[in-house]
Structure 1
Amino acid sequence: MTELYCLSNFIDFSPALNEPLKHSNRIKYTCFDISTNYVIFGASSGSLYLFNRCSGKFLHLVPNKHGPVTHLAISANEKYVAFSTQRSMICVYAVNLSALTTPQVIYAKLGSDQTLQVTCIHWTQDEKQFYYGDTRGQVNLVLLTSFIGKSLLSMGVHAILFLESPVIQIDDFQSLLLVSNSTKCILCNTEYEEYKQIGNRPRDGAFGACFAISTNEAAQPSRIYCARPGSRIWEVDFEGEVLQTHQFKTALAIPPVKIHKFQGFEEDANGKYEENDEMLEYQPQNLQFAKVQMLNKGFLLAFTEFALYVFDMRASTVVLWCNQFERIVDCRVIGKEIVIFTQSGSLYSVQLNSLRTHACTLVRQEKLLECACLMRKNVKYFADKAREDYDLNILNQVKRFLINRHEFELLNDLSVIFDAIMQCEAVGDNNSSGSSSGTAERSASVGAVGYPNVQASNNNSTQPPAREVYVLENAFCENIKSSKGSEKHFKDALLTVTGKFGKNIIKYKFNIFAEEQKKLVHDLIPSNERSIPFNDIKAMYENDEEIVCRTKKSLNAEANSKHNSQLTNTSQQISAEEKTIYNLYLICKSAKISNINFVERYRTLFDEYTARELIDLLSKLEKVMQEHGDSAEQSRKNCFEMYFNYLNSELIWEMDDYTRDYIAEGFTLLNTSTNIMRCDNCAFPLRFDNTCSFHELGAVLLRYYWSRNEQVKCFDVLMQVPALLDVLAKFYMAENNVEKVVPILLSYRQPELLMGVGKSLNLAAWARCFEQFVDLQQGRLCCVNCECVTMVDNVNQHFFYTWNCFLSIALEYLQAQEILAMIFKWSNFIANDAIDREFYTRCLLKG
C-alpha cells in the first residue's frame, strides 16, 4: 500500500521571538535563517536578532547601520552570518555572543547603483566562502579570511557568472555550481570552468533549482531538480541532461492536509471524534516554485505564498500540500523540521511523518485519544499496515484505553485495525516456535516499505566507488540528447564565466602528493632540487615508514660517497608542521617560476595560525629555502611577499607591537634601494625612484604611527622607503603645514600627487611652489626633513621637472592673470623656449 504522510509536531515560536520587539511597533522581522543551535532574524531596523533554537531564548542583538536586512544565511558551522541590506550592501557577522565584545560586521558595497539588490545567499560546506546573486544577474563568490587568533575578518568579492536576468536560487555540490535565474538554469563545473544550460526552453519568472544528493547511488542516483512553469519539475543528471519532466498540475487536484494539532475532541458532544468538513471539488493547480529544497533526502519541498507542497520525486507523486499558513515569505528545512516564516513575522515549525510513525509517537506521548481519532480517519491504511508491521502492536494501548473509558462506538469503528494486529501477532508466535523465518520476513517487509535493502547496501559497499569527473559540454540540451548536427554554441546564452580563478574557485586541497603537484615539481623545479626531500615524504605516505630528512650538507656528503650506508643523518618522522612548510615551499617556488600569485592556495593554511605563530612558521620556511639554495636575504624576501599578499593591511590597527614591527621590517626590506640621493645635512632622501611594492600596506603603517604620535618611527620607514612621501604630504596637508608639503610635491616626481594636493593650496602656497621650482631648475633641492638646501646635478631627468608640466597643473587651480604674474616675476630664470605657445593660448581661453 502507498505510504500516507501528515504534518505534525506543530510549534509556534512567535510569542518568544516577538518578545524583543514588544516595545516597538515600528521594527519588523524581514527575513530569517535557522541552524542547529540558532534562529536568526533580520529586521527592518537593520539589526540581527539571535535566538536559541531549542529554548527560544533571545541571545544577542547585532546592530547594523546599512539599512533594512533583505536576505540572511548562516554558515554550515554556525560561525558566520551573511546578510544583505536595502542599501546594496553584502555583510558578514562573526557570531560572538559575548556582551563584552563589540559585534564585528564587515561589509562590501555591491555597486554605485542603489537599486542593485541581493536576491539570494548560499553558503558552501566550507565556512570560508559563500555565493550570492543579485538583480542584475551576477553571481559572486565571497572568500572570508580570519586573522590574529581568528578574531578579525576580511573578505574578498569575486564575480563568477554574468547572466542577463535576476538570480533566483543558488545551490552547490562539491565542484558543481547550480544557478537558476529568471530565464534558465545553469550548471557550472567551477574546477574545470565548464558550464552548460539545462534544457533549451526559456521561461520567464521565479523558478528555483537544487541538488538531490543520494546516499545510495546504485538504488537512487543523485539528481538535480529544476522548477518549471505549470507545476512541472525537471529531473536532470549531473551532466546537465534533462531525463524526465514531472507533471504535478493535475495531481495537485486533491484536498489539502491539516496540521495534526490535538485541541480536545471531547468538547464536541454531538460530533465527537469526527470533523464535518464539506466535500469540496479541488481543481488542478498551475503554480511556479521560486525555491525548492530537499526534505528527508527523498522528498522535494516547495512553497508559494499560500501553501506548502511536498513531492515524492522517486514515485513522481504528490505527498501532500497544506494551506494553513498565512502569506508565506520563506521556508527552511533543518533536520526533520520544516520551518515557515510568514509576512506577519510569525515563525512555525512542523514535521513530515508517515501516519504510522505519528500514531506510534502519539502513543508514546500518551495522547491516546488523539491517536484513536487519527486511526478512525484512516482505518484502511492502519489495517493494511498492521498486517505487515509487527511493531504496530503498540496500538493495543489505544484499545485498552478505549475499553477503560467505555468508548465502545469508537472501539467498534477501529475493530478491523485491532483484528489485523492480533493476526500479525499470531503469525509471529507460530513462526517463532519453529524458526526465525517469520521475523526475517517481517524485517524484509519493513525494509521494503521505507528503508533501503541492507544486503544490497552491503554488497555495494564492498565495491570502491567510481571517481566521477563532470566535464560539461558548452552546448544546449533537449529532454533527450540531441544529435551532433543540432548542437548550438553556448555564446547564444548571453553567459560568460570569468577565468580569473581557474581551479582555485573552490577551496584548494593542500595535498603535496596530488598528481598535479607531482607534475608541478617535475616540470617547474630544476632537477637538482626536485628529488629531495619530496621523494622521502612521498615514501612515508605510501609505505608508512620513517624517512630520512636530508640537508644540503648531507647531500654533498652523499655525492662523495659510493655507499648509502655512509649517510650520517638520523631518521625521524616528519611532523604536520614540516609537511605544511614543504607545501608552502612548493607553492612559493611555483609562484616564482610561473610568475603567478598563488595566495589562494595558502590562504587557508595561514588562517589556522595566530599572528605570532604565523611569523614563527615563516621563519622556519626561510630555513628550508636556504637549504635549497636561496640566499638568506632572498629567502626572507620570499616569505615577506607571501605574508603581505595574504595580509589585509587594515588589520595593522589591531595587531600587537611585535607583529607590527615585523611588518615594518619586511616592508623596508622589500623596498630598500641604494639609488637614493640624500640631503648633505641629515641624509634624508631628496631624489629617488617612487615605485613601491605593497604601497597600501606601507600607507596604513604610516597612518598608524602618525595617529599614535610616533613620528620617529614614520621617518625611520621613510628614510629607507621614500616612495611613501606622498602619504606624508597628505599628513602635512591635514595639518595645513604647507611649508613641508611643497618640498615633497617637487621631490616626489609624480604629477598626480601635485594634481591631488593642488586643489587644497592657496595662492601663497602656489607662490611658494614657484619659488622652489625655480630653485629646482638651478639644481637646488630643499630637504623635507631639515629644510636645508643641497646642490644636485641633472635635475631634468623626469618630465615633471619641466615648466610646461608644472604650469599646466597650476592652471587647473589658478586664474590666468595670477599665473602670468608669477611667470613675469621669475622670467629671468626661465629659458626662452621653456614654455610652449599652447600654454599661453590656454591662458587666453581661460580669461
Structure 2
Amino acid sequence: MTFVPVIPESYTHVLAEFESLDPLLSALRLDSSRLKCTSIAVSRKWLALGSSGGGLNLIQKEGWKHRLFLSHREGAISQVACCSHDDDYVAVATSQGLVVVWELNQERRGKPERIHASSEHKGRKVTALCWDTAILRVFVGDHMGKVSAIKLNTSKQAKATATFVMFPVQTITTVDSCVVQLDYLDGRLLISSLTRSFLCDTEREKFWKIGNKERDGEYGACFFPGRCSVGQQPLIYCARPGSRMWEVNFDGEVISTHQFKKLLSSPPLPVITLRSEPQYDHTVGSSQSLSFPKLLHLSEHCVLTWTERGIYIFIPQNVQVLLWSEVKDIQDVAVCKNELFCLHLNGKISHLSLLSVERCVERLLRRGLWNLAARTCCLFQNSVIAGRGRKSLTVDKLEHLKSQLDLTTYSDLISQLEELILKFEPLDSACSSRRSSISSHESFSILDSGIYRIISGRRGSQSDEDSCSLHSQTLSEDERLKEFISHQEEEQPDQCCSSQGNEGDECVFYWLQM
C-alpha cells in the first residue's frame, strides 16, 4: 500500500496556486511567439503587465477584469511600478530608456494621461523603478549606475493652483556599477549595485555605504518595516554571497550576518497546485550556496527571494527558512501582502499565495478540490495535528472530506486520512453533536463565515479541476475577456443567497459554533 509521505511538523506554511492566469494571458494575446509579457508589477488594486510590443495592460485584481491598455511607441516595456499609496499612478520604463508616468484618472472616470516622460536615461537600460511611499516621486536606476528622481505635478494639483509647474528630473547619485534593486521607506532610498549597497537620506542628501566588504554580482536589498505598535525600528536586509544576509539598522550599520546555507539543505516543499500532485522527497540534500538577486518584503515577518531553481522565503529575524519550493525559470516576482506573481522566462505568469497549511486546505475544500485537499492534509498531518489548524480543520470537515473521495480510486488516501482523524482529539464536546447533526444530510459545504450550508438531495459530482480555462481560441478579444471573467466569477466562494446543485434541492442553513 502506497502512502503519501509526511512532512516534518516544523513546516507550517505552503505556496499554493488556486487558479491559472494562462486564460488571462490568452485573452490579452500575450501568449504568442510574437507578443509576450516582459515585466510585471502589482498593487492593492492592479496587476500590471508590460509587453514586448510596448503595451501596458492594467487588470483589476477583483474579478480579474481588464480595465486599461496604455500604449508606448518607444519600445518594449522593460520595467513597471505601481504607486503603493495611490492606485491612480503607474510608471513604466521602455527598452529605449524612456520613463513614462501615467495618471489613470479612475476616480473621475477620465482618460489616462501621460503626466511625465523622462529621457534622463535614454539610450541606457533601466534596471529598477521604485515609488516614494509618501509623495508622488519615482526613483529610476540604470545599468550604468545612475539613479534619478522624478517629482510629479499631477493634474489634480494643477487644477488646485493657477499654474502648472514641471519639476526637473533630479540626479540622486551615480554608483559604481549597474543598479540591481531600489527600495524606499520613510525618507531613505536603498540602492543595491553589483558591488555593494548604499543608503541615501533623500531629504538631507546624505549617503552611506553599507558594510565594508564588497561583492561581485547581482545581490538584492530591501527594507523590513518595523511595527509601530511595539516601537520597532525598520531594518534593512542585504544579500551576501554564500546564502547570507546582512541585517542592517536604519542608519546603515551592519548589526549581524545571517547564514542560511546549511538550513537550505532541507528538501523543497511542494507547491499545492492542480497542475500536478504534490510530492515530497525526504532525502536531505547538500547545502545550497546561493546568490539572492533580489529581496522582497513579504507578508509581515518574511523576506522572499528566488534563483533559477526555486523560491525561498525566510523569517530573517529568527534566522529561519519558512520554506523553499521548486519553481523554475523565474525572471521576476511582484508581491502584495501574501500574494506572489511570478513572471517566467517564457512570458507565463504564476499566481501563488503564501498560506498556513490549514488556510490552504480550507480554500481547497471551498472549491471542492477533494483529492488535493486530502493529499495536502496527509502531507502536512504533523503540522495539522500539532498546530492551530485543529481549530479550523475540525474532525467534521475531515470526515466530510473523506466522504467525498471515491473508495476504489483513493483507498490508500482514505486510509491515511482515517489515521489522521483518529489522531485528532476533539477540542470541545460539541464536536460529536455537530457531527451527528450533519450526518443525516447527504452533503454540506462550509462558507467563509463559518456557516454550514446543508443540501438535501443528491448533487452532481464535482470535478477537481478549476473552471477557469478558455476553450475557444477563435473568439474576438472582447469575447475572450468576457468569457474569462465569467469563469472567474464562477470561482467565487459561495454566498448565502447563492444556489448550488439542482433546482429541486432544498437548502437549509445552520449556524454552528466553530
TM-score of Structure 1 vs Structure 2, range by shorter chain: 0.7 to 0.9
Pair 1:227 & 2:235 matched: no
User: After superposition, what is the alpha-carbon deviation per residue over 1:400-437, rounded to whole angstroms, capped at 9, x for unaligned?
Assistant: 443686857645534554344335335999xxxxxxxx
User: After superposition, what is the alpha-carbon deviation per residue over 1:86-140, rounded to whole angstroms, capped at 9, x for unaligned?
Assistant: 222222122247998575363121257x2x2221010012351111112222221
Take 1:196 and 1:70, find their aligned partners in 2: how far apart are those partners?
A: 29
Take 1:375 and 1:23, find their aligned partners in 2: how far apart are those partners?
A: 35
Give 2:364's aligned residue. Answer: 362
Take 1:353 and 1:421, find their aligned partners in 2: how far apart are those partners?
A: 22
1:33 CA displacement: 1.3
Take 1:186 and 1:79, find their aligned partners in 2: how far apart are those partners?
A: 30
1:14 CA displacement: 2.6
| Correspondent of 1:177 among 171, 178, 189 | 189
Q: Which has the larger radius of gyration?
A: 1
Give 2:45's aligned residue. Answer: 37
| Larger strand fraction of residues | 2
Change (3 A) 1:379 1:161: same
| Correspondent of 1:305 among 299, 305, 308 | 308
| Correspondent of 2:331 among 329, 332, 337 | 329
Give 1:556's aligned residue. Answer: none
Take 2:360 and 2:341, find their aligned partners in 1: how far apart are those partners?
A: 18
1:314 CA displacement: 2.6
Question: Retained in 1: the 8 A contact 2:194–2:218?
Answer: yes
Pair 1:95 & 2:104 matched: yes
Change (3 A) 1:410 1:92: closer
RMSD over aligned Cα, in angstroms? 3.2
Give 1:109's aligned residue. Answer: 119
- Report the TM-score, using the length of structure 2 for normalisation: 0.72
Question: Retained in 2: the 8 A contact 1:31–1:71?
Answer: yes
1:44 CA displacement: 2.3
Take 1:302 and 1:60, find their aligned partners in 2: how far apart are those partners?
A: 30
Give 2:226's aligned residue. Answer: 214
| Correspondent of 2:385 among 369, 376, 383 | 383
User: After superposition, what is the alpha-carbon deviation per residue over 1:302-352, rounded to whole angstroms, capped at 9, x for unaligned?
Assistant: 012332111111321212222233x21110111221111112211121111
Give 2:210's aligned residue. Answer: 198
Q: How does 1:476-625 map to 2 (within 5 A)?
A: none
User: After superposition, what is the alpha-carbon deviation per residue over 1:284-306, rounded to whole angstroms, capped at 9, x for unaligned?
Assistant: 22211121111111011101233
Question: Retained in 1: the 8 A contact 2:371–2:405?
Answer: no
SS at match of 1:282: coil
Pair 1:371 & 2:380 matched: no
Q: How does 1:681-720 map to 2 (within 5 A)?
A: none
Q: Which one-letter code corresponds to 2:100 in the other structure?
A: C
Pair 1:287 & 2:299 matched: no
Give 1:19's aligned residue. Answer: 27
Pair 1:78 & 2:90 matched: no
1:218 CA displacement: 4.1
Segments of structure 1 that go 5 or more residues without pairing to the other structure are 266-273, 430-847
| Larger helix fraction of residues | 1
SS at match of 1:249: coil
Pair 1:421 & 2:424 matched: yes
Q: Which one-letter code corresponds to 2:226 in the other structure?
A: S
Pair 1:348 & 2:358 matched: no
SS at match of 1:314: helix
Change (3 A) 1:118 1:111: closer
User: After superposition, what is the alpha-carbon deviation per residue over 1:765-812, rounded to whole angstroms, capped at 9, x for unaligned?
Assistant: xxxxxxxxxxxxxxxxxxxxxxxxxxxxxxxxxxxxxxxxxxxxxxxx
Take 1:424 and 1:416, find their aligned partners in 2: how far apart are those partners?
A: 18
Q: Which one-letter code corresponds to 2:337 in the other structure?
A: G
Take 2:203 and 2:209, find their aligned partners in 1: how far apart are those partners?
A: 17
1:217 CA displacement: 6.4
Q: Which one-letter code corresponds to 1:373 in the other structure?
A: R
User: After superposition, what is the alpha-carbon deviation per residue over 1:21-74, rounded to whole angstroms, capped at 9, x for unaligned?
Assistant: 369743332212122222222222223222222333333322222222211111
Question: Retained in 2: the 8 A contact 1:332–1:338?
Answer: yes
Take 2:61 and 2:129, find their aligned partners in 1: how far apart are those partners?
A: 21
Change (3 A) 1:145 1:419: same
Q: Which one-letter code corresponds to 1:34 in the other structure?
A: V
Question: Retained in 2: the 8 A contact 1:396–1:418?
Answer: no
Question: Retained in 2: the 8 A contact 1:382–1:417?
Answer: no
SS at match of 2:18: strand
Give 2:398's aligned residue. Answer: 398
Take 1:85 and 1:256, find their aligned partners in 2: how far apart are those partners?
A: 36
1:143 CA displacement: 0.5
Give 1:804's aligned residue. Answer: none
Take 1:53 and 1:406, find their aligned partners in 2: how far apart are those partners?
A: 36
SS at match of 1:78: coil
Give 2:6's aligned residue. Answer: none
Segments of structure 2 that go 5 or more residues without pairing to the other structure are 1-8, 433-514
Change (3 A) 1:384 1:279: closer
Q: Which one-letter code corresponds to 2:212 in the other structure?
A: N
Change (3 A) 1:155 1:80: farther
Take 1:259 and 1:85, find their aligned partners in 2: how far apart are those partners?
A: 33
Change (3 A) 1:127 1:189: closer
Question: Retained in 1: the 8 A contact 2:30–2:51?
Answer: no
Change (3 A) 1:83 1:155: farther
Change (3 A) 1:107 1:220: closer
Question: Retained in 1: the 8 A contact 2:30–2:37?
Answer: no
Take 1:54 and 1:73, find their aligned partners in 2: how far apart are those partners?
A: 19
SS at match of 1:290: coil
Q: Which one-letter code corresponds to 2:144 in the other structure?
A: R
Give 1:779's aligned residue. Answer: none
Change (3 A) 1:426 1:71: same
Aligned residues: 415
Identity %: 26
Change (3 A) 1:417 1:106: same
The structure whose RCO (Cα within 8 Å, separation 6+) is larger is 2
Q: Which one-letter code corresponds to 1:391 in the other structure?
A: K
SS at match of 1:234: strand
Take 1:108 and 1:379, find their aligned partners in 2: how far apart are those partners?
A: 55
Give 1:189's aligned residue. Answer: 201
Change (3 A) 1:219 1:255: farther
